[in-house]
Structure 1
C-alpha cells in the first residue's frame, strides 16, 4: 500500500514539474521579445542615419564612426557596435522562439542566451496552466519520472537480491 502511495506521489511530482515547462517557455519568449523591442527602440535613431547615408547598413555606420577624426565619434563606435550586436543576438533568440515547441525546448536546453535564461529563472513564478500543451507535458513527464524511478529501484532490488525467496538464494549460492 505504501508503495502505491509513493508511486502516486512520484507521478504527481512529475505532473507538477511537467506543467511548468510551457509556462517557462512562454515567459522566456516574452522576455526575449521585450528585450528585442527595447533594443530596436534604442537603435531607431542609428537605423534612420544608416538608412539615409549607408543604405540601411548599420555595420557601415559603425565602421564610419570608427575611422572618424572626431574622438567622440570613435568612442561612440564601440557603444553603437555593441548595440548592433545585441540587437542581432536578440533577433536570433526571437526567431528561435517562433519555431515549433520541440525547437523551442531544444533551443532553451542547448543554445539559449544564458543571461536571459537566468533572468527568466529568477523572475519565474510557478503556475499551473491548463492549456493542452501543459497537460501533455505534465502527463509525459509524470510517466517518464515514475517509470524511470521505479525502474531504477527495481533494478537495484534485483542487483541486491531483494524480493527473491530463500530457496532461490540457496540455489544460486550452491
Structure 2
C-alpha cells in the first residue's frame, strides 16, 4: 500500500513539475522578445546614420568610428560594438524560439543564454497552463519520475536482498 502511495506522490510531483516547462518557455520567449525590441530601439539611431552615410552597413559605421582621430568617436565605437553584439545574441535567441514547441522547450532547457535563463527563472511565478504542451510535459515527467524512482528502489531492494526473491505463501482463505 505504501508503495502505491509513493508512486502516486511521485507521479503527482512530476506532473506538477512538468507542467511548469511551457510556462518557463513562454516567459523566456516574452523576455527575449522584450530585449530584442529594446536592442533594436537602441540601435535605431546608429542604423539611421549608417543608412544615410554607409548604405545601411553598421559594420562600416563602426569601422569609421574606430579609425576616427576623435577620442569620443573611438569611445563610442566600443558602445556601438557592444550594442551590436548584444543585438546579434538576442536575434539568434529570437530565431531559435520560432520553431515548434518541442524545439523551443529544448532550446530553453539546454541551449538558452544563461543570463537570460537566470533572469527568467528569478522572475518566474509558478502557474498551471492547461494547454496540450503542458499536459504532455506533465504526464511525461510524472510517469518518468515515478518509474525511475520505483526502479531504483526495486533495484536497491534486490541488491540488499542479495538477488533472492521473497517467497510468499498464499492462503486459500
Give the superposition deviation at 1:106: 2.4
Which residue number in structure 1 is paired with residue 95 of structure 2?
95
Which residue number in structure 1 is paired with residue 171 of structure 2?
none
C-alpha distance in structure 2 between counterparts of 1:80 and 1:22, whole Å:
35
Give the superposition deviation at 1:161: 1.2
Spell out, residue by residue over 1:128-160, the C-alpha distance to the aligned partner (whole angstroms, 9 max, x if none).
Answer: 111111111100110011111111111111111
Q: TM-score, normalised by structure 2?
A: 0.92
Query: Would you identify which runs of 4 or more consecutive aligned residues in structure 1 move more than 3 Å?
Result: none
Cα-Cα RMSD = 1.6
Contact 2:16 2:138 (8 Å CA) reproduced: yes
SS where residue 73 of structure 2 aligns? helix
Which residue number in structure 1 is paired with residue 114 of structure 2?
114
Spell out, residue by residue over 1:64-94, the C-alpha distance to the aligned partner (whole angstroms, 9 max, x if none).
Answer: 1000111101110000110011001100000
In the alignment, is residue 165 of structure 1 matched against residue 132 of structure 2?
no
In the alignment, is residue 126 of structure 1 matched against residue 122 of structure 2?
no
Which residue number in structure 1 is paired with residue 54 of structure 2?
54
SS where residue 126 of structure 2 aligns? coil
Which residue number in structure 2 is paired with residue 170 of structure 1?
none
Spell out, residue by residue over 1:26-70, the C-alpha distance to the aligned partner (whole angstroms, 9 max, x if none).
Answer: 000000000000011111100111111111111111111000111
**Bigger Cα displacement from structure 2, 142-151 vs 157-166:** 157-166
C-alpha distance in structure 2 between counterparts of 1:27 and 1:166, whole Å:
53
- For residues 1-174 of structure 1, what are the structure 2 equivalents within 5 Å? 1-161=1-161, 164-165=165-166
Contact 2:22 2:105 (8 Å CA) reproduced: no
In structure 2, relative to structure 1, the CA distance for the partners of 1:166 and 1:136 (3 Å cut) is closer
Spell out, residue by residue over 1:76-132, the C-alpha distance to the aligned partner (whole angstroms, 9 max, x if none).
Answer: 000011001100110000000111122222222332111111000100000011111
